[in-house]
Structures are given as C-alpha cells and as structure tokens.
Amino acid sequence: MPQIDIVLVEPLYEGNIGFAARVMKNFGFHNMVLVNPPKMTVEATARASHAKDVLEAAEVVTLDEVFARSNLAVATTGGLSKSVSNPMRMPYYSPAELREMIHDVDGRISILFGRENWGLNNEEIRRCDIVATIPTSPEYPIMNISHAIGVVCYELAHLPRGEYMLASRVEMDALYAHFERFLEGIGHPVEKRETTILLAKRVLGRTNLTVREASTIHGILRRTEWHLKHPGVAYDDKGREYWDGEE
C-alpha cells in the first residue's frame, strides 16, 4: 500500500481539521499534513474525538515540501474545466478511479484539499500530477472539506500492498525539465510550450511511471536530440556509426 498523505492547504477553521482527523482514522489513515493552518485550540481536539492521535501527529510543512517529497500529487477540486482544451483541471477522475490508478503502486502519494472558501488555486493544481473530483449533485456540488476527505478515504481504504515503486519527484521533475528543453530544441512555439508541458504532465502523471520507465523516456529524448544535431548519421546493430545520408 502506498503511503497516503491527506494534505489540507491553508484550512480556515480548526473545527474542520479536527473533523478531518476523525474521519481519516475511521478509514485507517493517519498521515495528516497541514499547510499554513490556523491556530488550533480545544475546538480542534474536541472535533477530533478519538482521533486526537492523528491530530497531534499532524505535520505542518510548506507546500513546496509537500511536492518535493511526493511521488504523486493529487489535486482535489469541485471547480472543473468545461473543455478538454484546458488541461489545468482536465482530465479529472473520481475517487474510485483514483483507487484503480494507484492500487498496485508503492511510494508517497499526497492528496491535496484546498481552502474551504475557494479551494486550490490554479498554480497549486498545475503543480499536481492528477486532478480528482467527487461526483456530486449539480444542485449543490460543494462539500464540506471533512466530508470530502471522508469520501476519498472511504474509496482508498484497504489498498493492497504496492507492487512497484514510482519514480521520485526529483526524477519526474527532471523528466519534465528535459521535455521542456526538447520542445525548445525542436522549435515548438513559445506561446504553446507551457500548455504542452502541462498536457505532458497530466498524461505522464496518470501513468505512474517507474524509475526505469522515466529513464527510458529520457533516453528516447536524448537519442532524438542527438539525431536532430547530426542529421544523416545512424548506427548499425552493433552500435557502429555510419553515414546514411546523401553526399
């Protein structure tokens, strides 16, 4: 089973933090992470009830630290894109679909929940690998944060032991940086690069790359870059260079 961190980004109300701890423990989750939380008093402890241990063990870190240590970062949002042409909040997955995506992987997965009043901002969502949403009624789609955490934890409870290790955040960031350099090298239009990088991140994020797979993509990009710089030069099946272009 991957290590799953429930990350509350700048929660506004300590009561919701306590309720979140309680529902996490209901479904067997104990890793609560808080980013810039409010001051907590006896209210948070009272709301946590018998999950005081989860509340007391909660880590307080920066958002940069969350992303740096996560193999996979999942943004939860109630505000969805209406068009597949906008990759910021597309494609998106339900908690049940998320379970299928991560059920056989190992590594650290951070699931981010945003502020009670306006959720995660676009920059925070952009930095995540996957976007998830709870399929609620259009009549009243926005859930209380602790309720949303409860639904996600319910769907992800009792995951089996992971079978393969995901590429680390450092390895994935290096791959994205390489892809950005590749786009520059092939003259991809400057005004389209940011969107293209985001699209690539959405595609690669949901494939759960292993270290070997990430390394293989690096190798393909490097080989392509070499051939672009050396047109007409190729290798035979023994790795010996020969010229296959016209004089």
- The answer, as to whether pTM is greater than 0.75, is yes
Indicate the pLDDT class of residue 142, thresholds 50, 70 and 90.
confident
For the segment 77-92, what is each residue's pLDDT rounded down to a tens digit?
A: 886 655 555 655 557 8
Q: Tokens 């035979």: give the residue.
A: 236
* pLDDT (0 to 100) of residue 174: 92
* pLDDT (0 to 100) of residue 140: 87
* pLDDT (0 to 100) of residue 246: 43
Please check whether residue 75 is in contact with residue 112, taking contact to mean a CB–CB distance below 8 angstroms.
yes
- C-alpha pair distances (Å), 100 with each of 91, 93, 95, 131: 15, 10, 9, 14
* pLDDT (0 to 100) of residue 60: 98
For the segment 8-20, what is each residue's pLDDT rounded down to a tens digit?
A: 999 999 999 999 9
Run of H or E including 37:
none
Reading phi first (left if > 0) and then psi (alpha if -120 to 50, else beta), residue 49 is in left
Please check whether residue 4 is in contact with residue 101, taking contact to mean a CB–CB distance below 8 angstroms.
no
* pLDDT (0 to 100) of residue 211: 83
Say how many C-beta atoms besides its own lie within 10 A of residue 12's C-beta. 14
* pLDDT (0 to 100) of residue 87: 57
Least trusted range by pLDDT, from 4-18, 35-49, 162-176: 162-176
pLDDT above 50 for 247: no
Beta bridge partners of 112: 7, 75
3-state secondary structure of 196: helix
Give ∠ CA 19-77-67 in degrees, rounded to 5: 85
Decide: residue 2, CB within 10 A, 0-12 exposed, 13-18 middle, 19+ buried.
Answer: buried
Run of H or E including 176:
helix 169-185
14-26 and 145-156 helices, crossing angle to 10°? 20
